[in-house]
Amino acid sequence: MNVLAIGCHPDDLEIACFGTLARYVAEGAKVTVAHVANGDLGHAEIRPPELRRIRHQEAIDAASVIGVHDVADLDAGDLQVNAKDPAQLKAVTDLVRRVQPDVILTHDPADYMQDHREVSQLVFDASFSASVPFYATPTPGTAGIAPLYYMDTLAGVGFLPEEYVDITAFADAKLVALDRHVSQIAWMREHDGIDFLEFVRTCSRFRGLQSGVGAAEAFRACRTWPRQATRRLLP
């Protein structure tokens, strides 16, 4: 199985679905992760050009923790993600054609910030555009219209899960991967007094409590034609 997870910023996938991705890898799936925005505005002291470089490397380091080595960086600036931008649509469409995913994970359309919502729409549109033969991108050919699963929102606010993935065996790896994002985790701990690793651990335990396991991640399916499969695509 080919799995494509597309988040907005470096660390968004680690927060929402890295336990699931780790389980996919353990079960033999080929996993590709991508972030659309480069995270260049995600700090109060580190200047954007330097932070862009740092966060790109943090994303690579985090992915390697769970055995993922295909990391795509589409390099949009923070607060510049735009589902109506033809260049961004073409870039995500080309990624879909390259990966040929059987399933795509991405942000919920009602997530808490503009960039996340734009990525959700961008992925929905691009995953359809990838099936259109005369829509040209650098990667030749087309891709099937892949089923989409929307990831949990931050802290689960306003999100009603339809499916859960048991990540009990992968919860520690998820947090180790998230901790690779030093520019974010250390900053929040030292300057904001927020232990974001504990924040994410608590959310995983809560979803586990709901589904009867030690830790879980929650998803809901995109319910549009022709994206609904007759087999379970989550691990």
Q: What amino acid occupies position 182? A: V
Give the mean model confidence (pLDDT) for residues 85-94. 98
Contact 131, 143 (CB under 8 A): yes
Instruction: Please report whether residue 230 resides in a domain.
Output: no
Average pLDDT over residues 193-209: 96
Residue 235 lies in a domain: no
The reported pLDDT for the residue numbered 194 is: 87
Q: Does residue 99 lie in a domain region?
A: yes
pLDDT at 187: 86
The contacts of residue 73 (CB under 8 Å, 6+ apart) are 34, 35, 38, 56, 59
Assess whether the previous peptide bond of 138 is cis (omega < 30° from 0): no
In a domain, 78, yes or no: yes
Number of domains in the chain: 1
Position 64 in a domain: yes
Model pLDDT for residues 34-62, shown as the tens digit of each residue: 999 999 998 988 999 999 999 999 999 99
Cα separation, 136 vs 55, whole angstroms: 30
Nearest to 174 by CA among 26, 59, 14: 14
Q: What is the mean pLDDT of residues 204-217?
A: 98
pLDDT (tens digit, 9 = 90+) per residue, 141-199? 999 999 999 999 999 999 999 999 999 999 999 999 999 999 999 888 888 788 999 99
CATH number of residue 114's parent domain: 3.40.50.10320
What range defines the domain where residue 130 resides?
Answer: 2-221
